[in-house]
């Protein structure tokens, strides 16, 4: 994972250095700036190297060398003072002792001057102690910025004081010895040893510091050589990198311009000739105008491909419910729309009902529930064009303003009239305004999907109408015998799979022919319609009522227990016995005869059980009518039926 991150970071850095993602104008404008940048880098490295060399050189010439010269003078003076002290120790006359001591005093003053020059910096003169002539003027820098030099001065200054004191004691005792006032040679020798030790310590300290300055000189000289080598190698390395990046940039920019343009030209040519692969994407190698063009072209191809596949899929969906569900899925997945409702306008152009989402109640509606029973109240349905409270707040009086949302209602024009309405709802965030541009972009894409679906919805609705008209009785609205033929296997397999019973009730109006003969066929139709409603109301929603033919009806009681069908049949019979049919000139009382059988209790053949129910029905009619009979094997008289 870490390696991938480092690799991506390296790629981003390389693309940044080569301007691959910059606009084309900036690419060529910054190309010259990039070349100048690398020249400046090389010049800067050279200047830095020369400055480092200058610093090291200054440390050698202006610090180490002059400081070492002064320290060498100190060492020679200490050595000369040691020799003078030996001369004083051996001298036997006072004049020689005094002359040597005066010479030593001048050397002591020189040591003080040298020490002061090392501490403060500046010029110091070196005179010949024999002739008094100026031998040399030394220019040195202060040791105060050098920690080792500061330590040297801290130790050296007290030693000078000790040497001065020891030299004065030695000289005074020597004079006393020559005057005869002190004749102890051991005391003189002890003072000489003390003086010699102190001068030796000062000399060794100076020698050690001189060695330090010598090491500093050699290390600085070596560092200068290293800096020169590193500077040369770095400049060469930077030059190689600059050349490599220049070549890489040239290659990338040529690919970023030439390859996508060629691919776009090929795709446009394919679109023009009709031979196009919508899944073939243009490789995006940059984020400049060419990359944006490639991205937009790929997005266009994706949209076209998505629309094409969407229409192809919904064309193959079995029902309108599947189509509406597919539209909802596209809105969720492709457009990231979560709050919307699809309403379908019924064929009577009066009612409308929400079809997506399926589990949607009137209490959840953002509009007044009255639009469901009077869809002309819906502004989008009535006008047939988009209604948006984003563009015009409170444009629709039926929308509930207390929801705090804004809406865009888009009509679905099917067959020249509004066949449905899609309502999109948007809720602004707390303390923020609605992103109108973003909403409009989503609505535009949603409208494109809706337009793709309109022809499919129209075809599905037409097919549904034709299918319903073929499977339903136009007078009663009940399913007909063809429905039973088409769906019998589905009903049978479900009952067998669930190991339940299917109750079959065959119903027939008693003396119905008399109604037509006495009152006319219009009254007969009214009686048939009300009969169908009475039967339908006395069974469950999951049960199936079929107009089997004429005044004969078949009821399929799905998933019942043995014996339940007899109870339902008797319930239906009693309802009819208590009912009076309203006719134009008064009322009419009719009775019903019913035959009952159960599948697979009576037979493992579904159509055989229907025949058994029919046999029981005829037995009921033969037995006096207005009764329900359960099929019994004794009713079956072979060829008679």
Per residue in 328-359, pLDDT tens?
A: 888 888 888 888 888 888 877 888 888 888 66
Task: Report residue 641's pLDDT band, with 50, 70 and 90 as the boundaries.
Answer: very low
pLDDT of residue 130 exceeding 70: no
What is the rounded CA–CA span in Å between residue 33 and residue 48? 22
**More confident site: 242 or 164:** 164
pLDDT of residue 571 exceeding 90: yes
What is the rounded CA–CA span in Å between residue 100 and residue 88? 7
The pLDDT of residue 283 is: 67
The pLDDT of residue 1 is: 47
The pLDDT of residue 390 is: 82
10 Å Cβ neighbour count for 603?
Answer: 16
Q: If you average pLDDT over residues 259-267, what whole number do you get? A: 71
- Residues with Cβ within 8 Å of residue 29, at least 6 apart in sequence: none
The pLDDT of residue 536 is: 92
What is the rounded CA–CA span in Å between residue 84 and residue 80? 6
Q: Which two tokens stand for residue 591?
A: 């009775």
Sign for the pseudo-dihedral over CA of 554, 555, 558, 559: negative
Q: If you average pLDDT over residues 173-194, what whole number do you get? A: 77
Helix (H, G, I), strand (E, B) or coil at 144: coil
Helix (H, G, I), strand (E, B) or coil at 44: helix
Helix (H) or strand (E) holding 215: helix 185-273
Half-sphere exposure for 403 (CA within 13 Å, toward CB): 19
The pLDDT of residue 22 is: 67
The pLDDT of residue 547 is: 92
Q: Quick one: what percent of the chain has pLDDT higher than 70?
A: 83
10 Å Cβ neighbour count for 337?
Answer: 19
How many whole angstroms from its chain centre is CA 4? 17
Per residue in 430-462, pLDDT tens?
A: 545 677 788 888 888 888 888 888 877 877 776
What is the rounded CA–CA span in Å between residue 157 and residue 115? 8
> Could you say which DSSP state residue 59 is in?
I
For helices 436-471 and 481-498, the axis angle rounded to 10 degrees is 110
Q: Are 452 and 327 in contact (CB under 8 A)?
A: no
**More confident site: 80 or 25:** 80
Q: If you average pLDDT over residues 507-536, what whole number do you get? A: 92
Integer-rounded Cα Rg, in Å, for the chain is 58
- Fold observed for domain 65-220: 1.20.120
What is the rounded CA–CA span in Å between residue 594 and residue 621? 8
Q: Domains of the chain: which residue ranges?
A: 65-220, 317-471, 481-640
Task: Report residue 535's pLDDT band, with 50, 70 and 90 as the boundaries.
Answer: very high
Q: What is the CATH number of domain 317-471?
A: 3.30.450.40
What is the rounded CA–CA span in Å between residue 436 and residue 426? 10
What is the rounded CA–CA span in Å between residue 155 and residue 259? 78
- Residues with Cβ within 8 Å of residue 212, at least 6 apart in sequence: 148
Closest CA to 443 of 455, 451, 432: 451
Q: Are 408 and 365 in contact (CB under 8 A)?
A: no
Task: Report residue 18's pLDDT band, with 50, 70 and 90 as the boundaries.
Answer: low
pLDDT of residue 517 exceeding 60: yes
**What length is written for the chain?**
641
**More confident site: 30 or 212:** 212
pLDDT of residue 118 exceeding 60: yes
The pLDDT of residue 143 is: 78
> Could you say which DSSP state residue 541 is in?
T
pLDDT of residue 573 exceeding 90: yes
Comparing 65-69, 471-475, 515-519, 538-542, the range with the smallest average pLDDT is 65-69
Q: Are 600 and 500 in contact (CB under 8 A)?
A: no
Comparing 68-72, 410-414, 484-488, 500-504, the range with the smallest average pLDDT is 68-72
The pLDDT of residue 637 is: 73
Helix (H) or strand (E) holding 334: none
pLDDT of residue 363 exceeding 50: yes
What is the rounded CA–CA span in Å between residue 63 and residue 75? 18
The matching CATH number, chosen from 3.30.70.270, 3.30.390.30, 1.10.760.10, 3.90.1170.40, for 481-640 is: 3.30.70.270
The answer to whether the pTM exceeds 0.85 is no
Sequence-ordered alpha helix ranges (H) in 287-351: 289-316, 320-333
Distances in Å between the alpha carbon of 416 and those of 384, 413, 420? 10, 6, 12
Per residue in 67-117, pLDDT tens?
A: 788 888 888 888 888 888 888 888 888 888 888 888 888 888 888 877 887
What is the rounded CA–CA span in Å between residue 289 and residue 565? 76
């Amino acid at each position: 994972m870490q390696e991938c991150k480092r690799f991506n970071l390296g790629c981003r850095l390389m693309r940044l250095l080569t301007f691959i993602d910059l606009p084309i104008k900036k690419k060529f404008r910054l190309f010259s700036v990039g070349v100048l940048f690398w020249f400046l880098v090389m010049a800067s490295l050279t200047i830095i190297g020369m400055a480092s060399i200058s610093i090291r050189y200054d440390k050698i010439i202006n610090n180490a060398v002059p400081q070492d010269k002064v320290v060498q003078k100190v060492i020679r003076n200490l050595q000369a003072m040691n020799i003078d002290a030996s001369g004083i120790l051996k001298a036997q006359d006072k004049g020689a002792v005094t002359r040597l001591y005066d010479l030593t005093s001048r050397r002591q003053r020189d040591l003080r001057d040298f020490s002061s020059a090392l501490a403060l910096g500046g010029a110091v003169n070196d005179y010949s102690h024999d002739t008094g002539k100026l031998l040399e003027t030394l220019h040195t820098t202060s040791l105060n910025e050098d920690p080792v030099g500061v330590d040297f001065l801290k130790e050296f200054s007290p030693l000078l004081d000790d040497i001065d004191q020891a030299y004065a004691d030695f000289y005074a005792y020597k004079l006393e010895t020559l005057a005869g006032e002190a004749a102890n040679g051991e005391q003189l020798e002890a003072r000489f040893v003390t003086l010699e030790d102190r001068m030796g310590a000062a000399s060794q300290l100076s020698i050690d510091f001189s060695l330090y300055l010598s090491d500093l000189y050699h290390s600085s000289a070596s560092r200068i050589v290293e800096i020169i080598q590193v500077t040369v190698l770095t400049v060469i390395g930077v030059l190689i990198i600059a050349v490599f990046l220049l070549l890489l940039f040239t290659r990338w920019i040529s690919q970023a311009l030439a390859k996508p343009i060629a691919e776009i030209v090929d795709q446009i040519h394919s679109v023009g000739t009709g031979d196009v692969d919508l899944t073939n994407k243009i490789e995006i190698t940059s984020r400049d105008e060419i990359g944006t063009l490639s991205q937009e072209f790929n997005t266009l191809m994706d949209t076209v491909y998505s629309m094409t596949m969407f229409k192809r899929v919904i064309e193959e969906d079995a029902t309108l419910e599947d189509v509406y569900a597919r539209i909802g899925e596209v809105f969720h997945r492709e457009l990231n729309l979560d709050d919307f409702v699809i309403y379908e306008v019924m064929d009577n152009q009066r009612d409308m009902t929400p079809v997506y989402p399926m589990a949607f109640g009137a209490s959840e509606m953002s509009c007044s529930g009255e639009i469901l029973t009077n869809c002309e109240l819906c502004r989008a349905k009535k006008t047939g064009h988009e209604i948006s409270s984003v563009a015009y707040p409170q444009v629709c009086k039926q929308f509930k303003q207390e929801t705090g949302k804004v809406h865009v209602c888009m009509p679905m024009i099917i067959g020249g009239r509004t066949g449905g309405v899609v309502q999109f709802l948007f809720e602004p965030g707390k303390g923020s305004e609605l992103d109108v541009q973003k909403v409009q972009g989503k609505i535009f894409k949603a409208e494109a999907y809706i337009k793709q679906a309109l022809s499919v919805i129209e075809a599905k609705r037409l097919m549904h109408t034709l299918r319903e008209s073929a499977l339903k009785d136009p007078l009663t609205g009940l399913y007909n015998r063809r429905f039973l033929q088409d769906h019998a296997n589905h009903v049978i397999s479900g009952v067998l799979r669930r190991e339940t019973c299917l109750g079959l009730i065959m119903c027939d109006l008693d003396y119905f022919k008399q109604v037509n003969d006495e009152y006319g066929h219009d009254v007969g139709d009214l009686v048939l319609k009300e009969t169908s409603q009475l039967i339908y109301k006395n069974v469950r929603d999951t049960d199936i009522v079929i107009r089997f033919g004429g005044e004969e009806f078949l009821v399929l009681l799905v998933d019942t227990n043995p014996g339940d069908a007899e109870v339902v049949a008797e319930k239906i019979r009693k309802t009819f016995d208590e009912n009076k049919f309203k006719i134009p000139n008064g009322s009419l009382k009719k009775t019903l005869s019913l035959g009952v059988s159960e599948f697979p209790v009576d037979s493992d053949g579904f159509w055989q059980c229907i025949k058994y129910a029919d046999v029981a029905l005829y037995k009921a009619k033969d037995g006096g009518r207005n009764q329900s009979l359960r099929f019994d094997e004794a009713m079956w008289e072979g060829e008679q039926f």
